[in-house]
Amino acid sequence: MLHFSRLSSLIFFIPPSLWIAWAYIGGILLVNYGKSLLASLIISLIFFAISVLILYFIRIARPFIILLLIGPSFFLGSTLYQQQLNSYQQFLNQISSQAINCTLLINDINTIDHPRFRNLISATIENAQLSQTQKNIATNNRSLLIYTTQHVPFRVSDSISLENVKIKQPSSQSLLQFFCKEKIVGTTVANMDNAKLIKRPTISFLRMLFEKKINNFSTLQEKMSRSSFTFFSSFFLGNRKINKKENDELKYQCKYWGISHYLARSGLHLVIFIMVWEYTLRFIPIFFLFKQALLILITLIYFIFTWNSISFFRAFLTFMLYKIYLFKNAQLHTLHSIILITVVVLVANPAQLFFLDFQLSFGITLLLAWINHFRKIIHAQQLQNSSINKPY
């Protein structure tokens, strides 16, 4: 049976932000299971009233003051997720499988290994009108995935126009939820010869970064065999959309040995990268803070010029947060940092909560950090008790 002091340590001696995170996630789940914002508001008010009563009767403000934020956090989670769903559904209802004329801002151009298509373009819909009625549509800066068989004569950051675009909407609820999370309205097949260039900025920082990344990728690809580069691209660069035959063989071998998770870049890959550079920087005779600044710069370059996943993004944010606290000469609570990053990611995109990559990356990391924190508390209590009981 768990001792009461240990139970209280487990519940109360944790970062107060964990209560806020749970409340926020609860609000998202409430909307996902079909409840309205009115139900969320009622539950939030009940939480707030209970918090006030606890603070009034117990009169121990410090451990319980955080309870006042549980109700508002619960309602905030419901509101943001409901707005995300409404915004996405509004666009789908407006087009209703009709063709549109649109202005697009190109964000990404990828060469894909596909039997029919050559390139996949991701573009933000800036303006859109129904082709028949010329009625304007609110796009909310969502993206459109364009498959094409031709060479793409455009560059990232170009503004182009397409007419009579027929958007294929998600065919299943799971795909619809995925598109909602990625802020994608759907897919289409387009002939780039029919697209018109509207504007090409003279200077574009995003275009420069994208083209540098692609040039580096192509240079490395030319210097390696197909099988070697497939592994290198998947493990180190995070791009698994090339060399489909070799990629499938690599997946099969990793699955056979039970190491498929190594192909999905996560915190482990970033830790290995950072450890290698930290060991290398030991041989450079410069100040400690200069080494840390250089390590941040190297990691940032690695983050920008590779393809990132949600787990790798979580690890990168954690690393940056640790370094910020290091420069401030302050100690960062591991559990608190993970909770903070989780809340930030879910505030920016509440739909992330329902996908396995987010759940495994954030959930397991949070659980391990919580267990480690609990063990430290128990160990500290045991040391304290042993010192009290020690005869003098």
- Please give, one letter per residue, the 3-state secondary structure of 88-127: HHHHHHHHCCCCEEEEEEEEEEEECCCCCCCEEEEEEEEE
Residue burial 309-328, b: 16+ Cβ < 10 Å; e: rest: bbbbbbbbbbbebebeeeee
Percent of the chain residues past pLDDT 70, beyond the cut:
92
Beta pairing partners, 165 = 100
387: confidence class by pLDDT, cuts 50, 70, 90: low
- The residues, ordered by sequence, that sit 6+ positions from 7 with a Cβ below 8 Å of its Cβ are none
- The gap between the terminal CA atoms of the chain, to the nearest Å, is 32
Residue burial 159-176, b: 16+ Cβ < 10 Å; e: rest: bbbbeebebeebeeeeeb
390: confidence class by pLDDT, cuts 50, 70, 90: low
> For the segment 82-117, what is each residue's pLDDT rounded down to a tens digit?
988 888 888 778 777 788 888 999 999 888 877 888
Alpha carbons 247 and 47: distance in angstroms, whole number: 50
- The residues, ordered by sequence, that sit 6+ positions from 188 with a Cβ below 8 Å of its Cβ are 144, 145, 146, 147, 165, 166, 167, 168
Tokens of 35: 């409840």
Exposed (0-12), middle (13-18) or buried (19+): which is 110, by Cβ within 10 Å? middle
Q: What is the pLDDT of residue 255?
A: 77
Alpha helices by DSSP H, 288-363: 288-304, 310-327, 334-348, 356-358
391: confidence class by pLDDT, cuts 50, 70, 90: low
Beta pairing partners, 145 = 122, 187
Alpha carbons 15 and 370: distance in angstroms, whole number: 10
The stretch 368-373 carries a mean pLDDT of 80
Residue pointed to by tokens 């918090």: 51
Alpha carbons 371 and 202: distance in angstroms, whole number: 53
Alpha carbons 233 and 247: distance in angstroms, whole number: 10
- The residues, ordered by sequence, that sit 6+ positions from 253 with a Cβ below 8 Å of its Cβ are none
Torsions phi, psi for 233 (to 5 deg): -65, -40
Alpha carbons 218 and 91: distance in angstroms, whole number: 37
> For the segment 171-214, what is each residue's pLDDT rounded down to a tens digit?
777 888 888 888 888 888 888 888 899 999 988 899 999 999 98
Beta pairing partners, 103 = 127, 161
> For the segment 134-166, what is each residue's pLDDT rounded down to a tens digit?
788 877 778 889 999 888 888 999 999 988 888
> For the segment 278-302, what is each residue's pLDDT rounded down to a tens digit?
889 888 888 888 999 999 999 999 9
- Cα Dmax for the chain: 92
Residue burial 254-286, b: 16+ Cβ < 10 Å; e: rest: beeeeeeeebbbbbebbeebbeebeeebeeeee
- The residues, ordered by sequence, that sit 6+ positions from 366 with a Cβ below 8 Å of its Cβ are 335, 338, 339, 342
The pTM of this model reads 0.83
Alpha helices by DSSP H, 193-287: 205-222, 226-232, 244-257, 267-281
